[in-house]
Structures are given as structure tokens and as C-alpha cells.
Amino acid sequence: MKKFNEQGLKSRAEQNFELFNALQKDRQGFNTLREMLHRWTGIHLTDGPASQLKMANRLTRVLCRHELRNYQQYAERLRAEKPGDIAEFVSAMTTNTTRFFREGSHFETLRTIMAEVIETKKRDKSHEIRVWCAATSTGEEAYTLAISVNEALHSEPDLKAKILATDIDLSALQRAATGIYSQERLAKLEPSLVRKYFSRCENADGEAHFQVQPQIQKMVHFAPFNLHTNPYPFERGFDIIFCRNVLIYFSQETAQKIIERLTGALNPGGYLFVGHSEVGYVRAAGLKMKEYSIYRKSA
């Protein structure tokens, strides 16, 4: 049996800690990478010790993986603009904190809105409801939308829903597309919804996981998309857009432009949901607040 090298492990841990401390103090390298992040994604990382700590915390493992000693070496690597390196950088620096039915009041209001949307579609003899989850991360929000919409359509066989779920983080999208989540990620879901929309499975270690049911997965299409893109390429509008807890990572000016483009992507009478802390970013003409952080586009 191979002997466990405790000293070697300790040495690597110490090296990682030393690198982490050095990165926190590298203001010039921090600013270089901060500018790169903004150029590629539009995300505005504020200046200051808190942001320097955040970057060091997220990039220490990346630099260690590539055996790089400082931000300058990493910036040189990124300047080659290899898609894999850029994707890794963006993935490390973007936040993937999410859960099923996050900010639950939104989904309570969505039930009322869905009844209205259904009546409008039936009146217009339209058979498709289009929803966009504009910052899906690892998919919990997109599947929550699919479950909520499916519940609303249970007695409407002539209506179908399509949900576009996008994110800039390719690794997060790959995880989302599997539709597999740990038991902990489903902890706050109603047991009846877990039984109805998930199948129990196990990972290689025998740990309990849950797979989203195929009929829900089929409702969702995952695709990479940068909200900083201009113009947005959609040929058809959306009835509902969720863009929550992502505007806070942009400057006020960039966030305002994103809101304007999101508004343009809404159908007349469509609804935009933003995070509860993002109301201050919404100043687009043609939007009227229906409830706190929920807006309706003029019909």
C-alpha cells in the first residue's frame, strides 16, 4: 500500500496559503484581471480589499492548477484568449449561489401571472408560452420555473411552454443540463414536489441524489449567453423573463442597458422579475411595477 505523504500534503497546503496571501496584496495584478473580467463579461468588480480577497479566494486554486506563481503570469496566459482558459476564469469569478424556489414570493405571484398569460394565449389563439431564465447558473431556477409553469398548465393540454435558460458560465450550464442534484439542494422543496418531479438516484459513492423528471427537462433548453451582448439576437419575444441576482455584479450604467435590452426582449404585456435587491437598477421606459421587483411591460 502506498504510504500517505502527510508532509507533502502539508507542504502543498502551505504553498497554497502563501500564494493566497500574496494574491491578496497584488493590487496591480488584481486591477489587470478586473479589467479583463469587465471586458469579457461586463461584470464590474468594485475596487477595494473585499474584492481583492474575493478574487484571491476564487483564483488561488486556478493558479495552483496551472502552476502559476502570480496574477501577472495568469494574465499572460489569459491574453492568448484560449476559450477554455477564458471559460475557466469566468466560471471561477462568477457566483453560482442558487437554490430551488429562491425568493419564494416570486413564484407565488407567478401562479397569478400564469393564469393571466394562459387567458391571453387562449384569446389570441396562441399555443406557446415563452419563458427566459437569463442567469440560470446550475439550473435550479430554470427547473423551478418549469415545475411552476407545468403546474399551471396541468388542465391546458393545448398550451405548451418553452423555457430558455442561459448563463455565461459553461461549467455551470453543463451541471444544469444533467438535472442531477444532491439531497441537500432539495431540502427546502415540498416533499410532494420532490416525489412528483424527481427520481432518486445515487452517485458513485452511493450518496443519495435526485434526477429531474424527463418531462420537466424537456421543457428547458440550456444555452450560453452573455447579458452584455448587444443587441440581443432573439427573433421572438418572451412572455416572462427572470433575471435575478445578477444585475448587482454590473455597474449602474451597464445594468441599465441590460434592463433596456431585457425589456426589448419582452412581448407587450410580458413580465420581468429581478432580485429583491435589484429594484434600484430598473428604470427602463415601458415597465411598470406590478409587485416589488416584478415589472410588466406596457401592452
Contact 137, 96 (CB under 8 A): yes
The answer to whether residue 58 is catalytic is yes
The neighbouring-strand residues paired with 243 are 274
d(CA 165, CA 91) in angstroms, rounded, equals 17
Contact 243, 165 (CB under 8 A): no
The answer to whether residue 236 is catalytic is no
Backbone angles phi, psi at 4, to 5 degrees: -70, 125
| Residue tagged active-site, from 26, 58, 175, 261 | 58
Report the residue count for the chain: 299
d(CA 160, CA 151) in angstroms, rounded, equals 12
What residues have CB less than 8 Å from 296, skipping those under 6 apart? 269, 270, 271, 272, 287, 288, 290
Between strands 128-133 and 160-167, the pairing is: parallel
| Residue tagged active-site, from 167, 169, 239, 244 | 167
The residues carrying an active-site annotation are 58, 167
